[in-house]
Structure 1
Amino acid sequence: MRRVRILFYWLFFSKNNINFFELLTFLMKPRVDVIAKKFIKNIEDAGEYNKVTFLNISKELYWPKKFSVSGIFQVTAETFDSNDWHYYQYNKTQVEKGEILLDIGTAEGLFPLVVLDKCSHIYMVEPSQYFYNSLNKSFEEDKEKTTIFNLAVGNKKDKVFFNEDSLDGQISNDSKTNRSIDVETVDNLIGENKITYLKADIEGFEYEMLQGAKETISKNKPKIAITTYHKQNNPQEIISLIKSFVPEYNYFVKGIHGEEPKPVMIHFWI
């Protein structure tokens, strides 16, 4: 049904830089687990984690058993399949040697794991305690090159309640069953440190995060790869906000989301 909706959106709404061949490729693509298994060597028991080894990188990923292995397949396809519309490294937003990456909504950490050798430092922001613990496990031998924050980011310093049972990282008003976490702005978090690449997927809170990253983006002018398909997002507002910080940014929208005819990703570069 999702593929039918995307065909409908492509025909009658916006193509979002998807040509006819790319559309056909998407409509005929195999299930996400089939794609992922082209890159996964093994998934094995490692106590409270599933340890994932890959065919194309030497580093191992630790995935919390709290969450289904189907999530491993999803992030593997998004990270390694360059035809996936959720793929971060568009040809203008490739991670290059010496990058300083700020990964917001890191989750399991596969993206920074893949680009670790290229980066001089990686900052990771992840509110989930489960994923925070697994990130520390995955990057245990790379502490000099990585900084992991267990918090959320927004447009002001705050506290919110976080649903630890949600794979999507849901913010909740329920203080009885959810954990209180700190919210910080990117500007306060990064301060005078430099970044050259900003990647973000934070379940509809991208605009608020960007509002709190004005100084960091204006000063550093990083490459940006940001998801825009969540229900709360207005892609045009995100474009307008970022270009108000740095007018010379180029941008490229990519993909069609299944629920609405909005792009999956927007890439920015100078």
Structure 2
Amino acid sequence: MIYELKQKIRYSKWGDATAKWLEKTPVFVPCFVILNWMRFAETPDIVGTSKEETQRYFAENQDKITKVIQNLADETSKKLLLKIINRRESGCFVLKGSPQDQYFPKDIIHLSDEEVFVDCGAYTGDTIAKFRETTKDHYKKIIAFEPDAMCSHKIIEQKIPHCEVLPYGTWDKKDTLTFYANGKGQSCVEDLAQAREDLKKQGKKVTINLEKIDNLPACADMTFLKMDIEGAELNALKGAEQTIRKQRPKLAICIYHSNQDMLEIPLWVLSLNMGYKLYVRHHSHYDLAETVLYAV
């Protein structure tokens, strides 16, 4: 309980300083802390809909749930996905996962010295840093998509070898999109901003260019595709379908941004009929964020 409290505070506005204080200071944790966490049950922050809408969606899509579960490659994935769906339906958004090895779980993802890593939603390069650590800097190329200029500039400053930073969002066609960005890895498109009113107030309204991965020569030889792009994953995957069919890259795709993504993204990968083995892993210690679909 103390550990989970520290993790919660670490990612809150109080940050690391308070978490470090907790490591050294015994504290009494009253019940209201747990009850305060349960406030997420009535807010759309992670799931994007109310508890009632969530329950209705999953009740109406039992066939899809069954198909996804039947096609997951191991029991861990099957039990985990059912647990996440149950948590979403109940409104209890506390779920302990494993933050270690996000996007690179050693029992699923195996990297070579010739990887072409395409990172959609590269933020400030945190996943790229983990990729470099995992490969010991033995890779062919990195393509980083990051439309938030405040974040992409931080990647460029690092002067990462063989890394091309593209200031685009990824989509299923060439287009433009208005969204709100705060330079902290959070963004939301304009028509979803009501559900994220805090970000709308704090973030800067920007219009970005969207590109289709299939149209970009830089991605033509990709071997590993990672996506964490705030709910745009399915459209972006559709915009990469030709390249996926040609290259059969490893996939690490976030599916936690909506209830629909939990089912539609795995079903889309299955519809390719490419023999992908599908796994689900959860990488947050304190909520229902950071659920990733792996396809290998």
TM-score range, shorter chain: 0.5 to 0.7
The alpha-carbon deviation at position 16 of structure 1 amounts to: 1.4
Please name the residue that 1:97 is paired with.
113
The one-letter amino acid of 1:132's match is S
The separation in 2 between residues aligned to 1:157 and 1:216, in whole angstroms, is: 16
**What is the deviation of 1:253?**
1.3
- Higher relative contact order structure (alpha carbons within 8 Å, sequence separation ≥ 6): 2
Structure 1: state its 5+ residue gaps: 6-12, 20-25, 30-76
Partner residue in 2 for 1:126: 146
Asked if 1 retains the 8 angstrom alpha-carbon contact of 2:225 and 2:249, the reply is: yes
2:95 and 2:287 in contact (8 A); partners too: no
Q: How does 1:220-235 map to 2 (within 5 A)?
A: 220-231=247-258, 233-235=260-262
Does the 8 A contact of 2:151 with 2:183 survive in 1?
Answer: no
CA contact (8 A) 2:214 2:220 kept: no
Residue pair 1:99, 1:195 contacting (<8 A) in 2 also: yes
Q: Which has the larger radius of gyration?
A: 2
Deviations 1:23-60 (A, max 9, x none): xxx9789xxxxxxxxxxxxxxxxxxxxxxxxxxxxxxx
Q: Once the two structures are superposed, what CA deviation does each residue of 1:3-32 show, in whole Å capped at 9, x if it has no partner?
A: 998xxxxxxx9731799xxxxxx9789xxx
> Which one-letter code corresponds to 2:163 in the other structure?
T
d(CA) in 1 for partners of 2:176 and 2:170?
A: 10
Bigger helix fraction: 2
Change (3 A) 1:255 1:157: same
Provide the C-alpha distance between the structure 1 equivalents of 2:270 and 2:221, rounded to a whole number of angstroms.
Answer: 20
TM (norm. structure 2) is 0.58
Output the aligned Cα RMSD. Answer: 3.4
Alpha-carbon separation, structure 2, partners of 1:28 and 1:245: 32
Q: What is the 5 A alignment of 1:57-68?
A: none
User: Within the alignment, does 1:172 sit opposite 2:190 as a pair?
Assistant: yes
Residue pair 1:204, 1:233 contacting (<8 A) in 2 also: no
Equivalent in the alignment of 2:227: 200
Matches of 2:96 and 2:294, distance apart in 1: 25
CA spacing shift, 1:233–1:103, aligned 2, 3 Å: farther
Between the aligned partners of 2:82 and 2:275, the Cα distance in structure 1 is 24
Identical residues among aligned pairs (%): 23
Which TM-score applies when normalising by structure 1? 0.63
Structure 1 or 2: larger strand share? 1
